Chains A and B, each alone.
Chain A
Amino acid sequence: MVTLGPFLKRELRLLARQKADWLNPVLFFLIVLSLFPLGVGPEPNLLRIIAPGVIWIAALLSVLLAAERLFKDDYRNGVVEQLVASRQPLLAFVLAKLLANWLSTGLPLVLLSPLVALLLNVDMASFIAMVLTLLLGTPLLSLLSVLGAALTVSADKGGILLALLILPLYIPLLIFASAAMEAASMALPYHGQLAVMLAMLLFALALVPVAVTSALKINVS
């Protein structure tokens, strides 16, 4: 059995050396969210109403931004090809990529949520809902974007193709996450929405790693 540790260590080391890869999406998220109050006007009620949708759309786009280069380097320098040839370690490699992607793009969004709540005048109940939906939703975003990156790795300018491929898959998540936040702002229960998000996450967690390894195999052959 191949252990995940060394693979994860390598990914984290690469993230530490290529800071732009994960800092840019995080900054993009912050900048978009700080532009909204300037654009639509600082009316507190209006901001509170649009907050769920705006936060989640910014999160989707920032994760998408980080996805494109995910496998590019390792594809170009032959690492993916040689891992496919040796079969066993490929899954560990993919899992390490997934985990590192979430740690570098999903987790920062969760950590930034208090700041975002301040920017958009989100009340306490919605804030808790926001943190919960981000905790459940960002791993799913990572899973789907890694899948998209694996499918488009051999395309030269895969950016727009990746967006076309992956954004539709984000829609259910967007609907349930913003519905949960809206329900929370009206003091309604939102366990249902969270349960659906958890179900989607578990479903993706079971299937996506296998799909990613297959996509990589197809792309090198």
Chain B
Amino acid sequence: MRAIFPIVDSQRPVIKHQPFSVPVGQLLLQAQSLSCIRQDRVLFEQLSLQVHAGELLQVAGKNGAGKSSLLRLLAGLATPDEGQLLYCRQPVADVATDYAANLCYIGHHSGIHEQLTALENLAFWRAAAELPQADDLALLATLGLAGLEDIPCRMLSAGQQRRVSLARLWFSRSQLWILDEPFTALDQSAIAMLQQFFLQHLTCGGAIILTTHQPLSMVYDGLNTLELAYRW
């Protein structure tokens, strides 16, 4: 029988086990003159951007400006109508497997199955990330989900489901995180904790691309913002 309320030190530092494949400051992802057309509307064109290891790129813009579409292009889920994407200066199409292995994409949908418990969902994502199975009780407690590990996720609130979904980042070995609205439904303390964790990932040499409508409160040198304008 597992203890329902495991005692953990929530300040316990997360140790990254292996250094990332791209050293800090090196060019990780580069987009060259991307265009995206949805339903005869040009969301953006001639869009170029660069993300170096250790940088965070915040994509901002109004609803419908094409933030999610851009993130999906960058994650390799859709192909751009024009332009190309380079990973470590090579076209993503040529190094697709390497790129996908070094990428963690959490989209607008949570990626958790409502009939499964938080632990079962995390076990699935561990397997998908080719990581050995481990006990995630302490991790879930860190995320404020102690005591909720064993109930189906449909019983959890939207914010709690979002926490389960983001828990994957804690054991991810990927260098680049692409996160679509990670702060949706989260409360202030969770947002602060998540930003603290982002900072840790960045200082370890990771890179993050995210969309959010909230201003980031974290203080860090490598914060960049890309403002997408809404176009008719």
Task: Tell whether A pairs with B.
Answer: yes
Number of interface residues of B (CB under 8 A): 35
Interface-forming stretch among B98-106, B142-150, B189-197?
B98-106
With A and B bound together, what is the CA distance between A82 and B128 in angstroms?
10
Number of inter-chain CB pairs below 8 Å: 92
B101 and A89 form a contact (CB under 8 A) = no
Given the interface pairs A85-B103, A88-B100, the reply to whether A14 lies near B130 with Cβ below 8 Å is no
A6 and B109 form a contact (CB under 8 A) = no
Residue B124 at the chain A interface, CB threshold 8 Å: yes
Given the interface pairs A10-B120, A88-B101, the reply to whether A82 lies near B133 with Cβ below 8 Å is no
B130 and A88 form a contact (CB under 8 A) = yes
B115 and A79 form a contact (CB under 8 A) = no
Name the A residues within 8 Å of B100 (CB-CB): 85-88
Q: Identify A220's interface contact among B77, B113, B114, B120, CB under 8 A.
A: B77
Residue B33 at the chain A interface, CB threshold 8 Å: no
Shortest Cβ gap from A72 to chain B (Å):
12
Chain A interface residue bracket vs B: 20 to 34
Given the interface pairs A10-B120, A14-B115, A88-B100, the reply to whether A77 lies near B109 with Cβ below 8 Å is yes
A10 and B116 form a contact (CB under 8 A) = yes
**Which chain A residue lies CB-closest to B126?**
A6
A residues with CB within 8 A of B: 1-3, 5-7, 10, 13-14, 17-18, 73-74, 76-79, 81-89, 92-93, 220-221
The 6 closest A-B pairs by CB, nearest first: A78-B109, A6-B127, A87-B100, A85-B105, A89-B128, A78-B111
